[in-house]
Amino acid sequence: MRPTPTITRNSIYGLLGFLMPMAVMLVTYPVLLRHLGAEAFGVFLLGIAISGMTAMVDFGFTLGIAKHVAEDIAKSDVRSAAEVIITGILACVVVGSIGAVVLWLIAPWLASITVSEALLRRDAVWVFRLAALQFPTGLITLALLALLKGMQRFDRSTLLLAALSALTYGGAAGAVLMSDVGLIGVSAIGVVTNILLFGLAIFMTRSLCGSYGIDVAGQRPTLAALKRLGRFGVFASMSSVAPVLSRQAHRIVIGALLGPAAVVIFAGGAMMASVGFSALRSASEVIMPATASVMHGAQTPAAGYRQLRRIYTRGLLASSALGLASMALLFAAAPIIVPWWLDSEIAGEVVTTVRILCIGMALNSTRLIPHYTLNGLGKPEFNAAFAMAGPIGAFGLVPVLAADGLGVQDFAIAFSASLSVVAIAQVLFTELFLWRRWVPRETLTVQDMEAVAA
């Protein structure tokens, strides 16, 4: 069996997998906006958003692949790993194909409700249909990315993510700069990019599977593997989708009660405050496959406990410190960054919103390591419960804060307070239940306990 990179190295790769695509988007954004125009560029972004919906409709299969492959490799059970891989990929083919057909059929309706100008609406239909074509290959590529993470090869997954953004946004920007390519042309580049990355992902994962002795081609999908993926995936997908739905619900409610300008203020503040958290989340992803690997690959329960406790403690301290530092920096720099970024009369209100949300995001960074540790131990149902508790608490607090009148900052305070309470609750829950009840530590000696504490 091949050795895997260290957790620190994988965390750095995970962070790069977030920063590199963001850098490409920041550079190409103004180029595409200038050459396509605001309306057409908006349609282009909608097409990307539609093709990116694969991350929300995979029913947790991709996360399940990462978790179970790491677990099976640690146990040297290559047959079970192959069953999980082929079953998960087949499930993604089915879901992706259904999604593609549905999106193709509803593309005219989507265009009619999002685009007002008739000529642009006709182009939008084809942009959305091109996005639909990317659904099956996009979902399978996500599954292959999850496979790379399950093998703890975050270097390869980072390469794929960087190539995806570079070819999608960079290819589109290069096309509009070098030739008179329109909206449909740059969207077609996305289809070609998706196919190229799909082929590259297959090449990477096939060679790695061979090095681990995993014969995917010779294995058939099984009902047992589907049940493994389903049991884990249903709750894992809930914990992933809940924050997305919460953001959209906040925008809808704020828009209905306070108007569209308030939506811009809240959304702008939330986007800026969440950048640091999203970077830390990408760096923390390594904890899930590492946890599964440690607990199923250790020679004794005591050895597994010691190693996992050490990984958890160091990760918790690092993510907490980095989260606090990044949010403190943003809190101090917001009055300078926001007016430069927006150049708008609403900049002052956005600054206030950013600063309120920084407090919640700083505390929210403490729950990243507990979240991925629970997933790695196969207990995503608790993450789902905490993820759903957040928006419930936020919306429940808004009426209390609105006693003297409702403003966008009230939503920000409620959201930040909810993030803080849920984060503290999840850390305490992990300490009280996970380490005391669920992580096996039989034969742990006094010397072992002293080593863990150190």
Q: Quick one: pLDDT at residue 88?
A: 92
Residue whose structure tokens are 């084809």? 126
The percent of residues in the chain predicted with pLDDT above 70, rounded, is 93
CB 358 within 8 A of CB 331: yes
Q: Quick one: pLDDT at residue 4?
A: 45
Per-residue pLDDT of 42-63, as tens digits, reads: 788 778 777 776 666 777 888 8
- Reading the block at residue 252, the tokens are 């809808």
Cα–Cα distance, 200 to 312 (Å, whole number)? 33
Cα–Cα distance, 382 to 417 (Å, whole number)? 20
pLDDT surpasses 50 at 2: no
Per-residue pLDDT of 431-450, as tens digits, reads: 888 777 766 554 444 444 44
Cα–Cα distance, 67 to 146 (Å, whole number)? 9
CB 35 within 8 A of CB 209: no
Cα–Cα distance, 289 to 399 (Å, whole number)? 41
Per-residue pLDDT of 111-150, as tens digits, reads: 888 777 777 888 889 988 998 888 888 888 889 998 998 8
Burial classification of residue 225, based on how many CB atoms lie within 10 Å of its CB (0-12 exposed, 13-18 middle, 19 or more buried): buried
Cα–Cα distance, 20 to 271 (Å, whole number)? 18
Q: Is the pTM of this model over 0.85?
A: no
Residues ≥6 apart with Cβ < 8 Å to 190: 47, 48, 51, 130, 131, 134, 168, 172
At 117, is the secondary structure helix, strand, or coil?
Answer: coil
Helices (H), 343-379: 347-364, 368-376
